[in-house]
Amino acid sequence: MAIVYNESKKTFSLHTARTTYQFKIGNLNYVKHLYYGATIHDEDLVYLIRQYDRGFSGNPYDSLQERSFSLDAQPQEFTTQQQGDFRINSIEVQNADGSFSFNGRYLSHRFYPGPFTLNGLPTAFAQDDDTVDTVELTIEDAVTKVQVTLLYSVFEEKDIIMRAARVHNGGEGPISLKRIMSFNMDYLNGRDLDLISLPGRYGQERQVERQPLTHHVHKIRSGRGISSHQQNPFIALVEKTTTEDYGACYGFALMYSGSFLAEAELDQYDQARLVMGINDRLFSYEVGPGEDFDTPAVLMTYTHKGLARMSHTYHNFFRSNLNRSRFVKDIRRPILLNTWEAAFFDFDDEKLIEIARAAKDMGVEMIVMDDGWFGKRNDDNSSLGDWYVNEEKIKCGLTQLVRQINDLGMKFGIWFEPEMVSEDSDLFRAHPDWIMEIPGRHAVRSRNQLVLDVGRKEVQDYLIKSINRILDSANIYYVKWDINRAITDLWSNALPAEKQGEVSHRYVLGLYRVMDGIIKTHPDIMFEGCAGGGGRFDPAMLTWFVQYWSSDNTKPLDNLKLHYGSSFLYPVSTMGAHVSVASPMVPLETKAAIAMCGTFGYELDATRLKKKERTICKKMSALYHKYYDLNFFGDYYRLANPFEQVNLVAWETVSKDKSEALVTVVTVQLTVNGPQEYIKCKGLEPNRYYRLEGDGNVLTATGMALMHAGIPIPREIPEFTAFIYHLKAL
Q: What is the DSSP string of 167-236?
A: EEE-SSS-EEEEEEEEEEEEES--TTEEEEE---BTTB-S--EEEE--SSEEEEE--SSSS-SS--SEEE
Average pLDDT in the 257-276 region? Answer: 97
Cβ density class 352-387: b for 16+ within 10 Å, e for less: bbebbebbbebbbbbbbbbbbbbbebeebebbbbbb
Distance of alpha carbon 600 from alpha carbon 621, whole angstroms: 8
User: 3-class secondary structure for 71-86?
Assistant: CCCCCECCCCECCCCC
Residue 528 confidence (pLDDT): 98
Burial class (CB within 10 angstroms; exposed 0-12, middle 13-18, buried 19+) of 264: buried
Residue 154 confidence (pLDDT): 98
Distance of CA 462 to the CA centre of its chain: 28
Amino acid at 212: P
Q: Phi first, then psi: what are they for 590, rounded to 5°?
A: -70, -40
Is residue 571 within 8 Å of residue 319, measured between CB atoms? yes
* pLDDT tens figures, 167-214: 999 999 999 999 999 999 999 999 999 999 999 999 999 999 999 999
Rg (the chain; Cα; Å): 27
Distance of alpha carbon 662 from alpha carbon 692, whole angstroms: 9
Residue 67 confidence (pLDDT): 84
Distance of alpha carbon 411 from alpha carbon 331, whole angstroms: 14
Helix, strand and coil percent figures for the chain, each rounded to 5: 20, 30, 45
Which CATH code fits 336-419+458-497+512-630?
A: 3.20.20.70
Element (H, E) at 457: helix 457-471
Contacts of 407 by beta carbon, 8 Å cutoff, 6+ apart:
none
* pLDDT tens figures, 563-617: 999 999 999 999 999 999 999 999 999 999 999 999 999 999 999 999 999 999 9
Distance of alpha carbon 240 from alpha carbon 429, whole angstroms: 57
Whole-model pTM: value is 0.98
Distance of alpha carbon 376 from alpha carbon 392, whole angstroms: 9
| Of the candidates 568, 546, 81, the residue with the CA atom closest to the CA atom of residue 319 | 546
Distance of CA 679 to the CA centre of its chain: 29
Distance of alpha carbon 367 from alpha carbon 713, whole angstroms: 37
Residue 56 confidence (pLDDT): 85
Strand-pair category, 635-640 with 648-654 = antiparallel
Residue 673 confidence (pLDDT): 86
Confidence of residue 716 (pLDDT cuts 50, 70, 90): confident
Q: Phi first, then psi: what are they for 443, rounded to 5°?
A: -70, 150
CA dihedral 641→646→647→649, nearest 10 degrees, is 20
Is residue 229 within 8 Å of residue 534, measured between CB atoms? yes
Task: Say whether pLDDT at 646 is over 80.
Answer: no
Local structure of 277: helix, strand or coil: strand
Residue 130 confidence (pLDDT): 96
The three-point CA angle 432-435-437 to 5° equals: 105
The three-point CA angle 234-237-240 to 5° equals: 140
* pLDDT tens figures, 412-456: 999 999 999 999 999 999 999 999 999 999 999 998 999 999 999
Local structure of 279: helix, strand or coil: coil
* pLDDT tens figures, 59-116: 898 887 778 889 999 999 999 999 999 999 999 999 999 999 999 999 999 999 999 9
CA 82, 88, 93, 94 dihedral sign is: positive
* pLDDT tens figures, 483-508: 999 999 999 999 999 999 999 999 99
Distance of alpha carbon 397 from alpha carbon 370, whole angstroms: 16
Distance of alpha carbon 639 from alpha carbon 625, whole angstroms: 23
* pLDDT tens figures, 317-341: 999 999 999 999 999 999 999 999 9
Distance of alpha carbon 503 from alpha carbon 519, whole angstroms: 24
Residue 175 confidence (pLDDT): 98
Domain ranges within the chain, ordered by starting residue? 3-321, 336-419+458-497+512-630, 636-729
Residue 57 confidence (pLDDT): 85
Residue 379 confidence (pLDDT): 95
CATH number, domain 636-729, options 2.60.40.1180, 3.40.50.1980, 3.40.190.10, 3.30.70.260: 2.60.40.1180
Q: What percent of the chain has pLDDT over 70?
A: 100
Half-sphere exposure of 682 (CA within 13 A, CB side): 19
β-pair partners for 185: 274
Confidence of residue 149 (pLDDT cuts 50, 70, 90): very high
| Of the candidates 314, 333, 325, the residue with the CA atom closest to the CA atom of residue 566 | 314
Terminal alpha carbon distance of the chain:
40
Distance of alpha carbon 312 from alpha carbon 158, whole angstroms: 10
Crossing angle for the helix pair 556-566 and 588-595, to the nearest 10 degrees: 20
* Catalytic annotation, residues: 482, 552
Distance of alpha carbon 386 from alpha carbon 425, whole angstroms: 6
Residue 170 confidence (pLDDT): 98
Distance of alpha carbon 339 from alpha carbon 329, whole angstroms: 26
CA 8, 9, 12, 17 dihedral sign is: negative
Supply the mean pLDDT for the chain: 96
Distance of alpha carbon 470 from alpha carbon 205, whole angstroms: 32
Distance of alpha carbon 599 from alpha carbon 93, whole angstroms: 44
CA 356, 357, 359, 360 dihedral sign is: positive
* pLDDT tens figures, 20-64: 999 999 999 999 999 999 999 888 999 999 888 888 888 898 887
Superfamily of the domain at 3-321: alpha-galactosidase from lactobacil brevis (2.70.98.60)
Amino acid at 454: V
Distance of alpha carbon 76 from alpha carbon 84, whole angstroms: 13
Residue 64 confidence (pLDDT): 75
β-pair partners for 273: 186, 265
* pLDDT tens figures, 207-254: 999 999 999 999 999 999 999 999 999 999 999 999 999 999 999 999
Distance of CA 163 to the CA centre of its chain: 16
Going through 506-585 in order, the beta strands assigned E by DSSP cover: 526-529, 547-549, 575-576, 579-580
